[in-house]
Amino acid sequence: MESLLDLTISQAHNGLKNKDFSSTEITKAYLDQIKKTDGALNSYLSITEELAVEQAEAADKIIATQKEFSPLLGVPCSIKDAILVQGAPCTAASKVLENYVAPYDATVIKKLKKDGAVILGKTNLDEFAMGVSTENSAFQVTKNPHDQAHVPGGSSGGSAASVAGKQACYSLGSDTGGSIRLPASFCGVVGLNPTYGAVSRYGLIALASSLDQIGPMAKTVEDTKIVFNAISGKDALDATSVEYQFEESEISLKGLTIGVPKEYFEKGMDKEVEAIIKNAIKKAQEQGAKIQEISLPHTKYAIACYYIIVPSEASANLARYDGIKYGLSKQESKDLLSVYVQSRGEGFGAEPKRRILVGTHALSSGYYDAYYKKAQEVRGLIRQDFINAFKKVDVIFSPVSPFPAFKVAEKVDDPLSMYLVDVYTGSVKLAGLPALSLPAGKAGKLPVGLQIIGNYFEENKILSIAQQMEKLV
C-alpha cells in the first residue's frame, strides 16, 4: 500500500492507464492512511468517504472504456475547508459555520469534478483563513508531518500537511498573504499562488476579496502544473477572473535574469534559511542564469499596509455572519441586537474578532482616509516596485519565510510576531503577482521553501523554472 501513497499525479495517471491498480484501490489506500495517521496530524476537519468511493468507482468505469482521459481522473485530493463542496461541511474552521453544509460547488470544484477527481475530505485551516500556523482553528491544531512538535504553517496548514503526510495526492488551498506558500514551505511541498484573477474565487469563503486566490499544493512542480491547468480560467460567476489559457513553455535557466531583492536579505533571517536560499541562487547561476540585485524600496511598509487592507475587507466580508440567514444563531435572544451580539460573540474566535475590530475602525468615518485609503495608496507603490523590477529581470528569487516552521504554541500569545511571518509573501499579494514555493532544502528535520515570483500571468515561466530548480536543489 505504501507505494500507492507515494505516487505523483502523473505516476498515478500512468498506473491507472496501464491498469496496474484501480482508482478505488488508490482511494482506499489514502482513506486507510488518513484513519491511521490523522489522529496525530489533525489535517482533516471532515472525511467525505462515501463521496470519494463513489467518485473512484465512477472513474474506474471511465478508465475501463477509454484509452485517453484527464490526468486528474481517479486521483484522490483534499480541499481546504473554506472552499465549497456540495453536500459536504464547510466550516472555515469557525464555530460560526460549525454545522454549515455547502449547497453548491465552488467553480474550482466543478472543474475538478468534471476532470473526475476524487475528493477525500476537507482540511483544517486558521479560522476564516486568518493566521500563519493553523493554530487559530476553532476545532484542532494541525501538526507538521516532518516534526509534530512544529506547526505546518497557515492558513492552508491542513492542505499542506495532508500532502506531506501522504493523506492526499494533492490539495487545493487559498492564499491571501502567503497561505499557500508558507505551509508549502514549512511542510516541504510545492505550492502555487496564482496571479490574482487567474483562478475563479466563486465558492471560496471570502477573507479579503482583493487578495484571496485559490491555488494548488502538490508533491512536484509537474503535479502543480496539472492542477493549475485544470482550475484556471475565466468564470462568469467571478467578475475579477480573467480570460486566461495556461500554456506550457520551456524557459531555460541559461541566459535568464534572476532578481534578488536586497531588502529581503537585510536582517532578521535565520542563518540556515539564508544559506539554503543562497545555495539555490548559486545553483541557478551555475546553470547560466544571471543574478541581479534589485530593490523593492516599499517592502518595509508591506506588513503595515497588508494588515490594514485585510482586516478592513474582512470586517465587511464577515458582516454576513449575523445569526440570521445561516450559521450559528442565538435566536432565543430577546431582541435583534442581542441576536447579532450573541451569535457573533460566541461564534468568532479571538483572531477574527481582533481583525473585525481593527478593520471596522480603519473604515470608520474620520479614519478611512488616514488608514484604508492611505494603505491602498501604499499598495500602488508596492505594485510599482515590482513593475519596475520586472523591466530588468525575468523572475525574482527570495525566501518564503524568514525561518523554518516554529513550534506549536511558540507564538500563540504574540499576534504581532505571527503577522511578521508574512514579510516575504504579503507584498507579492498586494501586487497581485504569481509566486511559487519550491522545497529547497532542510534546516535539521524542517523543510525550507524557495519563493519564485513571476510577472503577471507568467505562471508558465515560474513553473518551468521551478521544474529545473527542482532537479538542482
pTM of the predicted protein model:
0.96
Question: CB–CB of 459/226 below 8 Å?
Answer: no
Check whether the bond before 94 is cis (ω within 30° of 0): no
Catalytic residue among 28, 80, 143, 166: 80
Q: Which member of 43, 94, 174, 179 is catalytic? A: 179
Query: Residue holding cell 476579496?
Result: 209
- Grid cell at residue 229: 491547468
Q: Is 155 one of the catalytic residues?
A: yes
Which residue range forms the structural domain that includes residue 411?
Answer: 1-473
Q: 137, 155, 156, 171: which one is catalytic? A: 155
Q: For residue 2, what pLDDT is reported?
A: 58
User: At residue 120, does pLDDT exceed 70?
Assistant: yes
**120 three-state secondary structure:** strand
pLDDT tens column, 310-329: 999 999 999 999 999 888 99
Cell of 58: 465512477
Q: Residue 314: which residues within 8 A CB-CB, separation 6 or more? A: 128, 130, 207, 208, 352, 355, 356, 359
Residue with the three cell numbers 536560499 = 277
Cell numbers describing residue 169: 495526492
User: What separation in angstroms does the CA of 231 have from each of 257, 341, 379?
Assistant: 29, 39, 28
Residue 26 has pLDDT above 90, yes or no: yes
Residue with cell 548559486: 282
Q: 117 is written with which cell numbers?
A: 477527481
Q: Is 179 a known active-site residue?
A: yes
Structural domain count of the chain? 1
Which band of pLDDT confidence, cut at 50, 70 and 90, is reported for residue 25? very high
- Which residues have CB under 8 Å from 392's CB, separation 6+? 257, 259, 292, 294
For the domain that residue 40 is a member of, what is the CATH number?
3.90.1300.10
Give catalytic status of residue 80 as yes or no.
yes
Phi, psi angle pair for 45, to nearest 5° = -95, -30
pLDDT in tens, 236-272: 999 999 998 898 889 999 999 999 999 999 888 999 9
Q: Is pLDDT above 90 for 1? A: no
What's the confidence (pLDDT) of residue 268?
84
Which triple of cell numbers denotes residue 102?
Answer: 455547502
Helices (DSSP H) in 188-335: which residue ranges?
Answer: 221-231, 271-286, 302-317
pLDDT, tens digit (0-9, with 9 covering 90-100), for 379-417: 999 999 999 999 999 999 999 999 999 999 999 888 888
